[in-house]
Structure 1
Amino acid sequence: MMATSAVEKIDYWQASILKEMELSRAQFTHFAFEKHVHLDYHIGVVCHGGQRYHHRGSEYRLTPGNISTLNPDESHNGQSIADGGYEALVMSLPTSYVQQVGGALNQGELYFSTPILDDPKLRAYFIRLHRQLTLHQANITPLEAETLLLGFISELFYRHGKLRNLPSCQARLSGAQLDNIKQQFHQGLDQEFELEQLALSVDLSKFQFLRQFKAATGMTPHAYLKRLRLEYAKKALMRGDSAISTAYDLGFFDQSHFNKAFKRAFLITPAHFQKRVTP
């Protein structure tokens, strides 16, 4: 009997009503996400199968019937629960947009209080919204689309969100120092960083810094910076920037390295991703 080939695929869309919002539909059999972070709020469901992932020291299982909610800058991984794989729908919400919603709700900065929600009605709402903004977006008016989106986000945070309480970092790497390091990364995406330089900027040895940064974020500084570059790369490609200029502007060694890193992270080449998300 001939073995069935594994399915490893991600389709991407850009919603016309919110250009910075990314939507995707993924089908995975054996592919496993390495530990990573996102710049935006990520919401997802599985249509069949299930995904397990580690988040803040605990393992969670996303199965049909519940919703995954991840805040920006929270490290996690992900892989299929069973050999049959899974299909997932994901929406990433820009932090600026969520902050606007928080202001409208008089809540300030919002965040999700738990990574898994048991809310079948809200899950059904999410699936309907995702399909309207991807497969059927040509058949929905901007007013209807934004009404659905705002209704979902408002309901989601009203029922399952809280005001953000910034966690204090352990040992000698303070919250302010961690923010300083992250700011250096965001402002110097095209630069080369040295571990010793970063450590000296927060008055730690490079060994202390490496251990404490990983304890605070769940990732090494190198892995964190690489993921930031890839996250910014998607946004640049969505704006219409070329893959060559994006690779250069974001500090990749060359376009070949950029293509390999991008495909490893997102299962699609930069060129194919850009075709999917731009007119």
Structure 2
Amino acid sequence: MMATSAVEKIDYWQASILKEMELSRARFTHFAFEKHVHLDYHIGVVSHGGQRYHHRGCEYRLTPGNLSTLNPDESHNGQSIADGGYEALVMSLPTSYVQQVGQALNQGELFFNAPIQDDPWLRNYFIRLHQQLTLYQANISPMEAETLLLGFISELFYRHGKLRNLPSNSAKLSGAQLESIKQQFHSGLDQEFELEQLALTVGLSKFQFLRQFKAATGMTPHAYLKRLRLEYAKKALMRGDSAINTAHGLGFFDQSHFNKAFKQAFLITPAHFQKRVTP
């Protein structure tokens, strides 16, 4: 529960994968936004309390469980619903980036169809993404971060935007191209991969590549690579390699990150696994 004393604070971040994107976490008690507009697409949630605002002659209430989706150049204001104030997480998506997504889908300009979305699943996705791009940015690879971002944007506009279905003649990822990508992963388990570079090798946009790879394998490129690393890790541990050398050789940030991923996948720590499978 938020305190009733006046607390007005905004923390800002810049995501390393998209320098033009602004992220913020705010706590307001009495502060009220006057009518204003944004240059970018603004997406937000409240974690405590609630915000009310006027948009195109109607009043909307953003409460926990909902997602705010505001297009560029749409005037609105904002203030707390109750005296206790509210906390909010906000993401500002540059119009140039959203236009790239639209072009990758052979679409025109993309717009949200309403300023409030009742979508708990997507709200939780947004909170996870916001945390990964702010509080835990140092512990996430660029490919994982961009995979999460593109996945969120695609779901957001398909569920709540003015977007047609993908055309039937959209670019495809061939079987040979898919095998080539997989081989790159097998051969470079200790390397960092970027979506843009992988997409370029098969002549697709990042957005197209992400969708096509997931359609073919049922997994995102990052999830597929992570699983490969864990499978190779099991074999290395069975050979008697140390956990720290295994983590380093397979591209994990550190042993702690490796231990967490291994236990999440196999319900056992690397050390315990090694004890069970080696003499």
Distance apart, 1:108 and its partner CA: 1.7
Q: Does structure 1 conserve the Cα–Cα contact (< 8 Å) formed by 2:107 and 2:164? A: no
Corresponding position of 1:160:
160
Cα distance change on mapping 1:170 and 1:163 into 2, 3 Å: closer
Gaps of 5+ in 2: none
Deviation at 1:222, TM superposition (A): 47
Shift in Å at residue 61 of structure 1?
Answer: 0.1
> C-alpha distance in 1, partners of 2:138/2:173?
49
Deviations 1:27-54 (A, max 9, x none): 0000000100000000000001000000
CA distance in 2, matches of 1:212, 1:16: 25
Residue 19 of structure 1 deviates from its aligned partner by 0.2
Asked if 2 retains the 8 angstrom alpha-carbon contact of 1:14 and 1:278, the reply is no
1:198 deviates by 49
SS in 1 for 2:111: strand
Shift of 1:118: 0.4
Q: 149-158 vs 266-275, which deviates more?
A: 266-275
User: Is the deviation greater in 197-206 or in 79-88?
Assistant: 197-206
* Contact 1:168/1:175, CA 8 A, preserved across alignment: no
SS in 2 for 1:222: helix
For 1:53-80, what per-residue CA distance to the aligned partner results, in whole angstroms no more than 9, with x for missing partners?
A: 0000000000000100000000000000
Residue 104 of structure 1, CA deviation:
1.4
Contact 1:20–1:235 (Cα < 8 Å) also in 2: no
Judging changes above 3 Å, is the alpha-carbon distance between structure 1 residues 193 and 29 closer, same or farther for their aligned structure 2 residues? farther
Q: Which has the larger radius of gyration?
A: 2
Structure 1 moving runs of 4+ over 6 Å? 164-279
CA contact (8 A) 1:49 1:64 kept: yes
- Aligned CA RMSD, in angstroms, stands at 17.3
**Quick check: 26-35 or 187-196, which moved more?**
187-196
8 Å CA contact 2:144–2:222 kept in 1: the answer is no
Tell me how far apart the structure 1 counterparts of residues 183 and 77 of structure 2 sit (CA, whole Å): 24
Aligned to 1:223: 223
Q: Larger deviation: 217-226 or 86-95? A: 217-226
Taking structure 1 as reference, are residues 200 and 39 closer, same or farther at Cα in structure 2, changes over 3 Å only? Answer: farther
The alpha-carbon deviation at position 177 of structure 1 amounts to: 49
Give ranges in structure 1 of 5+ residues lacking alignment. none
CA contact (8 A) 2:49 2:63 kept: yes
User: More displaced, 188-197 or 18-27?
Assistant: 188-197
Q: Distance in 2 between matches of 1:135 and 1:98?
A: 24
Which has the higher mean CA deviation after the structures are superposed, 81-90 or 268-277?
268-277
Q: Aligned pairs, how many?
A: 279
User: What is the DSSP-based 3-state SS (H/G/I as helix, E as strand, rest coil) of the residue aligned with 1:198?
Assistant: helix
8 Å CA contact 1:41–1:70 kept in 2: the answer is: yes
Q: Bigger CA drift: 184-193 or 51-60?
A: 184-193
| Superposed CA offset, 1:62-117 (max 9, x none) | 00001000000000000000000000000000000000111112222100010000
- How far does residue 170 in structure 1 lie from its aligned partner after superposition? 39
Shift of 1:5: 3.0
Determine helix, strand or coil for the equivalent of 1:114: coil
Report the more deviating stretch, 73-82 or 255-264: 255-264
Are 1:37 and 1:224, in contact at CA under 8 Å, matched by a contact in 2? no
Equivalent runs, 1:165-176 vs 2, <5 Å: none
Residues 185-232 of structure 1, C-alpha deviations (whole Å, 9 max, x = no match): 999999999999999999999999999999999999999999999999
Report if the CA contact (8 A) 2:99-2:109 is conserved: yes
TM-score normalised by the chain length of structure 2: 0.58
Structure 1: distance between partners of 2:3 and 2:112 = 41
- Whether the 8 Å contact between 1:10 and 1:266 is mirrored in structure 2 is no
Give the deviation of 1:260 after TM superposition: 47
Are the counterparts in 1 of residues 6 and 29 from structure 2 also a CA contact under 8 Å? yes
**TM-score (ref. length: structure 1):** 0.58
The one of the two structures with greater contact order (alpha-carbon pairs below 8 A, sep at least 6) is: 1
Identity fraction in percent? 90
